[in-house]
Chains A and B, each alone.
Chain A
Amino acid sequence: MAAAPSDRDDFIAAQSDKELLRFITCGSVDDGKSSLIGRLLYESRALFEDQLATLASDSRRVGTQGENLDFALLLDGLSAEREQGITIDVSYRYFSTERRKFIVADTPGHEQYTRNMVTGASTADAAVILIDARRGVLPQTHRHSTIASLLGIRHVVVAVNKMDLVDEAENTFRAIESEFRQFADQLDFDDIEFIPVSALRGDNVVDPSSTMPWYRGPTLLGFLENVPIDEQRRTDEPLRMPVQWVNRPDQSFRGYAGTLASGSVRVGERVRVQPSARESTVARIVSFDGDLATAIAGQSITLTLADEIDISRGDIISAANDPAEVADQFDATLVWMDANALLPGRPYLMKIGSATINANVGELKYKLQVDTLEHLAAKTLELNEIGSVNLSLDQAIAFDAYARNRETGGFILIDRISNATVAAGMLNFALRRASNIHLQALDVDQSARSALMGHKPCVLWFTGLSGAGKSTIANAVEKLLLARGCHTYLLDGDNVRHGLNRNLGFTDADRVENIRRVAEVARLMADAGLMTLVSFISPFRQDRANARDIIDSDDFIEVFVDTSLAIAEQRDVKGLYKKARAGELKNFTGIDSPYERPEHADIRIDTESLDVDAAARQIISVMQQRGLFD
């Protein structure tokens, strides 16, 4: 702009060359978190006069500090929202100093705490853990530290607040320090700084305190200006770039757009595309401002490669000499974030980097008691619980352990029906099983077997209320198939529950596992070439969708035996409805457990207008249309 450089231009240039530090503040209600952040904003002049005027009048009206500013009010844009029932997970605030711009993730310290703190911590370089000097290290302090460590924050500062209320006593401060260190020994921090502060008076927040001459360390702001930034560390790790988007404006250009998760990249460098393991060389780093010679972690770039290889969204471009691992089964840590509990065995969608894959949470190894670090036995994870699980995917992905790289080891799980983000997760290591046991590609395959049998295999999945007529119709269909010389097998709720699934009850988690096992067995039978009939209430849409996924969906035929509850209850062949109504049977479908009607069943049988034979013939004719018999 201006012709000659001036002091002002230098100043402005310095402003835009600042670094960016993201940090999270953790504390329990009333530890002084709002006061502390408010003070930082105020002292770094991030507040405008009109905001200050509002603060001043709010302070007079509802504040607790007499004529002084009550910084706690500054952030308290939340009370009204709380009344409206708005979920507040994380608020972000901004301020800057000469050296750095700061983004503060502030999480309100109530019920949703774990979920919120995990969200804020996922992008933080450092954590400020607040302790009220009068109350010392509390179970919540352990919780905050554990979560920070779990989420890969390496640098923490413990701000021992309200020192003015303990007469600025050094021994109080030192006692808290040693107690905290003892607990933190079990965690993964690189360094811990302890600072005695008074958020209220501003002591050791921005300026060194004159009332605590025994403390000679940095002020809180001084610490934040110097603590290492995670992305800088990640530049020293090997190259990883998840391919986000393939840029193909025309036939002559094919670029791979993405954000460098770690490392750096330069033109001419040898790279490996994962998981396919094909290699090539970086031809260009294309940018709007002209080609670049190099790029580093955090940069969003577009690469072209020397060779034409097949690359799509979800792949990772890695350093050829130090690639990521590839696996499909993992030991992972999950933080559950949804009001509906985790159901092991139910598949979720996993988003990691730019890839979205089907993931199955298998065995739950244990649940972590966050404030004591104890491992507890558990069958499920509820909202805000953290657990260690086995995770298996339906295809292999490239990854790094989360401890090494947050971007290629951190993931979210998404519920396939509600689309909610239900969990945050961290990959710890690949399970050896995955890399060694590859699915055996057998020489005699399904088509060979079905040629021998003279018909194609399938799975007829009968769903409907208890007493709807599933088994009766399935039996009739099986008879007709037998008459045609087809090889069949009928899996019935009752015969399976007495054997294979004897150890399962009727809780939601057990129902999911019940269906999963039956689907797996049906898949094996179809693979053997059989026409398999499954007669199961299978009340949940999600579970039927899972069964369809497990069994090849071309082979899967969902048959909805549609009978109203009134009619089914009236028939009550086994007397179960009566018992359920009397409260002797719990979780009975239709009574105190829901039946989710199929929306797009392949076949719907209206038992109130069709008799059994007509129903069976309707099913056979659909099978015929599908070409199963030729």
Chain B
Amino acid sequence: MPESHSAAAPRSLSQLDRLESESIHILREVVAECERPVMLYSIGKDSAVMLHLARKAFFPARLPFPLLHVDTRFKFREMYALRDRIAADPDIDLIVHINPDGVAANMNPFDHGASVHTDVMKTQGLKQALDQHGFDAAFGGARRDEEKSRAKERIFSFRNAQHRWDPKNQRPELWRLYNTRKRKGDSIRVFPLSNWTELDVWQYIQRESIAIVPLYFAAERPVVERDGMLIMVEDARLPLRDGEVPQQRRIRFRTLGCYPLTGAIESDADSLPKIIAEMLVASQSERQGRAIDHDASASMEKKKQEGYF
């Protein structure tokens, strides 16, 4: 028997405990009411937190749904390493899906542009995988604080059989009650971390000692400056432009999207306390490092309607 915690009962929960509890409630609700849920696992910090919460929610049972990684083939190597470590856990089933059409077309962000690459490898790939496996609910790690247009997002977001989001037909979410009923063929995207902020995520990672990709910690890494972003040079997947010479800089990532669409920041924060301290005085929002958000300000909205997470 595991040892009991101290008997002194607190009178109220801390905000992290309440967030944790709310997320667990959401995860359980979906498992209780949906037929084939899946958790989208993108290997980033939000996915790491979401996975950790899921293990808590269903303990001591093993995870009652698989993880799905929609692989764009342009993730950092350290991300693949962490993913493979997670997949080795006997309690976890991980499905990796790569859009075969994208592979056939040798899709990459350099020749095709960031948005086409994301659309084919991520958005189309995701739809393929959801259809192939017949998943009727998919957990995603998006948070409302990420971006202005997400502030009004529901926790349960309904999609029709074509994966389209109908913004005119959203359901009000009252108390802890979620209406999960749907027509055959429809599916739900569920965001258990909706009420978390970036700071909450970091504090929780620290409190719970959650494994994350080392790229979040500052280290000397080779980079080039391109279009105002610091792009890490990892391997031959990043073709250098004329005159570009990689330099060693002390950098880290606040968000890990697709390599090389994600920019790094210069930082000395090589531990969680330092990252959190940096966060507390941070002056840039995290999405600022993502090339995809620079395209157009309403772009998120449009992507969502098309089925991007």
Interface residues of A (CB under 8 A from B): 1-2, 6, 8-9, 11-12, 15-20, 48-51, 77-78, 80-81, 84-94, 96, 100-101, 103, 115-116, 118-119, 122-123, 229, 231-232, 235, 244-245, 247-249, 253, 255, 257-259, 264, 266-267, 286-294, 296, 298-300, 302, 313, 337, 349, 351-352, 354, 406-407, 410-412, 414, 419-421, 424
B86-122 Cβ-contact flags toward A at 8 Å (1 or 0) = 0000000000000000000000000000000000000
List B residues at the A interface (Cβ < 8 Å).
Answer: 1-7, 9-22, 24-25, 28-29, 31-32, 55-62, 144-145, 148-149, 151-152, 167-177, 179, 181-183, 194-195, 197, 199-200, 203-204, 206-207, 271-273, 276-277, 280, 282-285, 288, 298, 301
Given contacts A49-B283, A407-B176, are A89 and B14 in contact (CB under 8 A)?
no
For the complex of A and B, list the 9 residue pairs with the smallest distance between their C-beta atoms, beginning with the closest: A20-B15, A290-B2, A249-B61, A77-B148, A48-B285, A49-B283, A300-B24, A86-B167, A122-B174
A379 to B90 CA separation, bound complex (whole angstroms)? 59
Q: Is the beta-carbon distance between A92 and B167 smaller than 8 angstroms?
A: no
Cα A77 to Cα B277 in complex, Å, equals 30
- In the complex the two chains form, is A288's CB within 8 Å of B5's CB? no
Contacts of A92 in B (CB 8 A): 144, 151-152, 194-195
A1 close to B206 (CB less than 8 A): yes
Query: Beyond A257-B57, A294-B7, is A235–B280 a contact (Cβ under 8 Å)?
Result: no
Contact of A48 among B16, B61, B204, B282 (CB under 8 A): B282
Nearest CB of A to B185, in Å: 13
- Report the separation of the CA atoms of residues A408 and B148 in the bound assembly, to the nearest whole angstrom: 33
**Minimal beta-carbon separation of A18 from chain B (angstroms):** 5
- CB within 8 Å for A351 and B177 given contacts A87-B168, A100-B15, A298-B13: yes
Which chain A positions have C-beta within 8 A of B58?
Answer: 247, 257
From the candidates A88, A115, A407, name the one contacting B175 in the complex (CB within 8 A): A407
Residues of A contacting B21 with CB < 8 Å?
A: 259, 298-300
29 A-B pairs within 8 Å (CB atoms) are namely A6-B273, A12-B277, A20-B13, A20-B14, A48-B283, A77-B152, A78-B152, A84-B301, A86-B167, A92-B144, A94-B145, A96-B197, A101-B15, A118-B172, A119-B172, A122-B174, A231-B13, A247-B61, A264-B9, A267-B4, A288-B56, A290-B5, A292-B4, A300-B20, A300-B25, A351-B177, A407-B175, A420-B179, A424-B174
A1 & B15 in contact (Cβ 8 Å cutoff): no
| Given known contacts A235-B12, A299-B21, A411-B177, A88 and B152 CB-to-CB distance under 8 angstroms | yes
* Contact B14 A18, beta carbon cutoff 8 Å: yes
Q: Measured between alpha carbons, how far is A287 from B17 in the docked complex, in Å?
A: 13
Whether A232 touches B12, Cβ cut-off 8 Å, given contacts A88-B152, A93-B151, A94-B144, is yes
Judged by DSSP, the binding face of A is mixed
User: Do A2 and B271 contact each other (CB < 8 Å), given the known contacts A50-B285, A414-B181?
Assistant: yes
Question: Is the beta-carbon distance between B62 and A249 smaller than 8 angstroms?
Answer: yes
* Contact call B5/A91, Cβ cutoff below 8 A: no
Question: Do the beta carbons of A15 and B203 come within 8 Å of each other?
Answer: yes
Residues from chain B with Cβ under 8 Å of A294 in the complex? 7, 9
Is A299 in contact with B13, judged by CB distance below 8 angstroms?
Answer: yes
New A-B pairs, 19, CB < 8 Å, besides A20-B15, A78-B152, A291-B4:
A1-B271, A12-B277, A15-B203, A80-B298, A92-B151, A94-B145, A96-B199, A235-B12, A253-B60, A259-B176, A267-B4, A288-B55, A290-B3, A296-B10, A300-B21, A300-B22, A410-B175, A420-B169, A421-B172
Known: A91-B152, A292-B4. A19 touches B12 (CB 8 A): yes
Query: Which residues does chain B contribute within 8 Å of A78, judged by CB atoms?
Result: 152
Q: How far is the CB of A90 from chain B (nearest CB, A)?
A: 7
Chain B residues with Cβ below 8 Å from A88 are: 152
A229 and B168 CA atoms in complex are apart in Å by 33
A50 B284 Cβ-Cβ under 8 A: yes
Q: Provided the pairs A16-B14, A89-B152, A235-B12 are in contact, do residues A292 and B5 lie with their beta carbons within 8 angstroms? A: yes
Q: Which residues of A contact B204 (CB under 8 A)?
A: 16
In the complex, A123 Cα to B194 Cα: how many Å?
14
Given A19-B14, A231-B12, A296-B10: A85 and B168 interface contact (C-beta under 8 Å): yes
